[in-house]
């Protein structure tokens, strides 16, 4: 009986997802249905089921204005501080983006050209407004708790999906690059701290190799390899310079968070970073172990070096750095 109930729920959710696209969401007659769907966004039993999350993800492709309303509900619910909500909302946003992004067959495009145009507008809203808006809210959050919740949502929606879909890298760079570097150089120390935390999650930002028009018989060709490599090298250097500058920040909290963030980045990407930059950042972390302004910064720096001890590639560098830190005992 339980399996029959699950099968019925699956069929019902699929039927609902297909039926919702038949409504005119700009008409006043759809207001009551909109309210019910928005209520589903903060209904825990509905969010806990995979079929419920899939149906809500489909709702992001119904109408651009309705997508904005759903995102507003998501933001308000994150203020409650429940971690499971952030995970569920991140899953919904990823499913919504993937559903809108995936290519349809040519016959479906011809048969549902109007519907495809609407979904294209919804995708533009999702990538151009909603996801960057969540990133901006994370960077400018008034409390560390809210910033943590938004990072958890973005982690579930984007960062953890990098291995599942290559196109996620392009979305992360597109939504983060215009905002995160401004935040890393902001006058507000709390914004710089939030940006430092976010860099740890989204590192490294990389550009996808673009298609250029006018090449070959198909009318398009890929971006030159050397140009693409140089573009990514410049972006990587920009990220490294920003993190290195945060290690010397005037604010104690920012320096401490920068030491933690740089430690995690070095541990996970030691081989991918230039040796000179790695050496420079490790030396700066070692200098923070003797920070005269704050004991918290010294503790964070020691913890960062301890994190690097677990990295096999960092052993040679640690042999040179640790003797200078032993004087702290």
Cβ–Cβ < 8 Å for 293, 254 = no
* Alpha-carbon torsion (83, 93, 192, 255), positive or negative: positive
Residue-level pLDDT at 118 = 76
Amino acid 321: pLDDT: 82
Q: Prior bond to 204 cis, omega within 30?
A: yes
| pLDDT, tens digit (0-9, with 9 covering 90-100), for 123-161 | 888 888 889 999 999 999 988 888 999 999 999 999 988
Q: For 163-213, how does the pLDDT look when each residue is reduced to its tens digit (9 = 90+)?
A: 777 788 888 998 898 899 999 888 999 999 999 999 888 888 888 777 665
What's the pLDDT score for residue 4?
42
- pLDDT for 26: 74
Q: What is the pLDDT of residue 327?
A: 60
Domain 223-329 has CATH 1.25.40: yes
| CA 101/CA 109 separation, integer angstroms | 14
Show Cβ contacts of residue 158 under 8 Å, excluding neighbours closer than 6 positions. Answer: 90, 94, 131, 168, 171, 172, 202
Annotated domain spans of the chain: 9-104+113-202, 223-329
- 3-class state of residue 211 by DSSP: strand
Residue 119 pLDDT = 78
Q: Which residues of the chain have pLDDT under 50?
A: 1-6, 8, 103-110
DSSP single-letter state for residue 221: E
The secondary structure of 299-329 as a DSSP string is HHHHHHHHHHTT-GGGHHHHHHHHHHHGGG-
Cα distance between residue 1 and residue 321, in whole Å:
64
- Residue 41: exposed, middle, or buried by beta-carbon count in 10 A (0-12, 13-18, 19+)? buried
DSSP 141: -
* pLDDT at site 150: 92
Task: Give the ranges where 185-314 is alpha helix by DSSP (H).
Answer: 189-202, 225-246, 252-269, 275-288, 295-308
Look at residue 203 in the predicted model and tell me its pLDDT. 87
pLDDT at 2 (0 to 100):
37
Token couple for 2: 């339980």
Report how far residue 322's alpha carbon sits from residue 49's, in angstroms, rounded to the nearest whole number: 50
pTM of the model: 0.83
Reference 70, options 122, 18, 111; nearest CA is 122
């Amino acid at each position: 009986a339980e399996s029959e109930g699950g099968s019925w729920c699956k069929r019902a959710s699929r039927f609902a997802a297909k039926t919702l696209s038949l409504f005119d969401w700009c008409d006043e007659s759809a207001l009551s249905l909109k309210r019910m769907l928005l209520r589903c966004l903060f209904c825990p039993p509905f969010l806990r089921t995979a079929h419920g999350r899939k149906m809500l993800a489909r709702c992001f492709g119904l109408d651009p204005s309705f997508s904005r309303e759903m995102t507003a509900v998501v933001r308000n619910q994150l203020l409650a501080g429940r971690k499971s909500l952030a995970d569920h909302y991140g899953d919904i946003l990823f499913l919504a983006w993937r559903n809108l992004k995936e290519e349809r067959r040519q016959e479906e495009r011809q048969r549902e050209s109007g519907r495809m145009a609407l979904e294209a507008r919804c995708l533009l809203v999702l990538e151009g407004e909603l996801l960057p808006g969540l990133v901006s809210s994370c960077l400018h959050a008034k409390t560390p708790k809210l910033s943590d919740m938004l990072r958890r949502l973005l982690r579930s929606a984007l960062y953890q999906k990098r291995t599942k879909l290559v196109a996620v890298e392009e979305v992360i760079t597109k939504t983060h690059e215009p905002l995160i570097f401004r935040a890393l150089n902001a006058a507000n120390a709390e914004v710089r701290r939030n940006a430092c935390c976010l860099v740890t999650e989204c590192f490294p930002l990389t550009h996808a190799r673009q298609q250029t028009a006018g090449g070959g018989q198909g009318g398009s060709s890929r971006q030159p390899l050397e140009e693409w490599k140089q573009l990514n090298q410049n972006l990587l250097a920009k990220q490294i310079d920003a993190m290195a500058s945060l290690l010397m920040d005037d604010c104690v909290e920012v320096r401490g968070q920068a030491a933690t963030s740089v430690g995690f980045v070095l541990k996970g990407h030691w081989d991918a970073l230039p040796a000179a930059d790695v050496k420079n950042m490790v030396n700066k972390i070692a200098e923070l172990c003797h920070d005269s302004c704050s004991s918290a910064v010294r503790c964070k720096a020691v913890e960062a070096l301890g994190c690097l001890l677990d990295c096999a590639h960092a052993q040679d560098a640690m042999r040179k750095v640790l003797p200078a830190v032993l004087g702290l005992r």
